[in-house]
Structure 1
């Protein structure tokens, strides 16, 4: 299809309540990378003033981080029918990227350091718990290899590179997976809980991860996967994206891999997405 015939609607979950640590950069990244290809983009804030119907109109969902208090506010609002709308979208294959605090909303519950348990959507089979106000936070740069089989295969087709993700994590809660596929295997950093070596979760076309700061500008192939998948689901036809010049992003990744002592083949660190 001609890119000028394509239109992408990005659903931004609670922009004022859930955009900690620059997570709005994920929205900006998706918007810009689509527009560079001539694709028309609409950014739809899905906040407390948004009617439930708007949640059904988006093609890709972006959720960011939040403090415990903000998460409680969000969950109260979601219970007004919006939670069911998000669940229906994810089950139907709408792609999404949920970073830091927002993945905790997708699980069964989150137990904060202080206060009552916050019930989640129960869409993904995991729980999140904060070990207490005196517990050490999981903070710092993180690198992990995507092991979610279908996502890893798609990314290799798009870029021919090892699907390595680099990001930044800063979380007190620890996430423990049940019967849901991990997103990846930690190479450097803490990941879900600093114990089992797993990071994030992957379900349908939804990516849940503690990696933010923001995630997508540092990992452009994931941004392109989200765009490509969203358009393919919307128009029910295979979509091929025009390559972009990602030399600066690749050089930044290479510098961070070197700083963290992660060995990556030079060609993998420097080459951009093939699409």
Structure 2
């Protein structure tokens, strides 16, 4: 039997492939680290500025290393700057809006995905098309409509606007998720005597919990950080949410950067907490509706 001849180029090709993989990994982690630093530097600057005194910033400059540590900026923003009431207003708007929007959206998505509703595709396209309209062209109509309904300059108007403009997108996302639930589960429940309400509350909602958690994080962030609709349907400073209150804070404390930075930290804290709480579902929710 003739001896087998080994390919001398195989080990060299293998070493070359390993080197390319190693350098690719190094380049990826280096780029990711650089982007992370660029992302975190502004956040660190805001946090450091918020804990410095005004005298320290005035004497050494905004970009210098801190020489003092104080929470006076937070106290000024919380009490004198009106951030306390503004945060309460934001929560009074955001929490009911998220709950009501997801309740209505889940019910509509359940009906459209599990039953032969007439013109359901047209309804889905109609709901989705409402989110494609630029909100700037609807500012005056929404403001006039809220005045006609007698709810202008009230938190109810802001809740209604946020629900109206958010439900369509939530229905579209939940519809795609609920369609992926096997029909055999619903058929087995029907054989056991379950009605539509029992199927919705005891089967579909528990199975759709990851989608609902992801949308909770998304909708809370969007609604809490909204500025456009709040300054459209609200007028009184005492009813403004936290984002609109930051504009007044900048006008009230023009050169006191520590107070402005403290107010920004207060405004960002709730969304950061919600994101950290739901981050697992938030990442998983990026693929919602992609699997049928």
Answer yes or no: same fold by TM over 0.5: no
Question: Shorter-chain-normalised TM-score: which range?
Answer: under 0.3
Structure with greater helix percent: 2
Q: TM-score, normalised by structure 2?
A: 0.22
Q: Higher relative contact order by CA 8 Å / sep ≥ 6: 1 or 2?
A: 2
Larger Rg: 2
